[in-house]
């Protein structure tokens, strides 16, 4: 497994609508393994493939508080099929926007479908923090960023922070070198 570079805003891959995965082979398994390793190294709760410069519909999530890897979830071609419950506002961050946290409105529960690393179909209904993280990561594979859900003022502030901090770099965060 390898720790991959995380693409920073405004890297163009973050705005791409990612391609469906059709091959459930060793290269997909390697990507899933590397994404999990990268997410853990960056201390994130979720990671989408475009964040590691792969325009594929692949996400990894671990909202467990202990025992790294025990609660790892891998979803290929995830799709939210229903938004449930009330809308809630919670502070969100993103590995492509280091150290930027903003209040974002999301649904408290969702139904979704996906495939696992071997292509087996999964259907789930989830709520709470897991539902929020899935919505965030599915947005990523659709080219939508959490700042898109902010007011114009807050969007502008977040973009200026990123430009000031990373404006002259190649828009890659080398995890572990911070």
What's 30's domain CATH number?
Answer: 3.90.45.10
As a whole-number percent, the residues of the chain with pLDDT over 70 amount to 95
Q: Average pLDDT for residues 108-124, to the nearest whole number? A: 98
Residue range(s) defining the domain that contains residue 110: 6-169
- 45: in domain: yes
Q: pLDDT band for position 76 (50/70/90)?
A: very high
- 17: in domain: yes
- 176: in domain: no
Res 169: pLDDT: 67
Residues annotated as part of the active site: 137
Q: Average pLDDT for residues 165-170, to the nearest whole number? A: 73
* CA dist list (Å): 130 to 14, 48, 66, 99, 106: 22, 14, 15, 21, 12
- 14: in domain: yes
Residue 10, preceding peptide bond in cis (omega within 30° of 0): yes
Chain centroid, CA 77 distance in Å: 13
- 174: in domain: no
Res 1: pLDDT: 83
- 46: in domain: yes
Number of domains observed in the structure of the chain: 1
- 175: in domain: no
pTM of the model: 0.95
């Amino acid at each position: 497994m390898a720790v991959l570079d995380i693409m920073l805003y405004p890297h163009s891959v973050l705005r791409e609508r990612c391609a469906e995965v059709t091959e459930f082979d060793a290269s997909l398994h390697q990507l899933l393994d590397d994404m999990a390793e990268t997410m853990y190294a960056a201390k994130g709760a979720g990671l989408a493939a475009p964040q590691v410069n792969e325009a594929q519909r692949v996400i990894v999530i671990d909202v467990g508080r202990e025992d790294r890897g025990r609660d790892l979830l891998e979803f290929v071609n995830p799709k939210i099929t229903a938004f449930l419950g009330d809308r809630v506002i919670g502070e969100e961050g993103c590995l492509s926007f280091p150290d930027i946290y903003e209040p974002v409105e999301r649904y408290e529960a969702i139904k979704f479908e996906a495939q696992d690393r071997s292509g087996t179909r999964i259907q789930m209904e989830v709520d709470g923090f897991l539902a929020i993280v899935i919505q965030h990561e599915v947005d990523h594979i659709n080219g939508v960023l959490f700042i898109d859900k902010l007011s114009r003022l807050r969007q502008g502030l977040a973009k200026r922070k990123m430009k000031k901090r990373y404006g002259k770099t190649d828009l890659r965060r080398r995890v572990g070198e911070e």
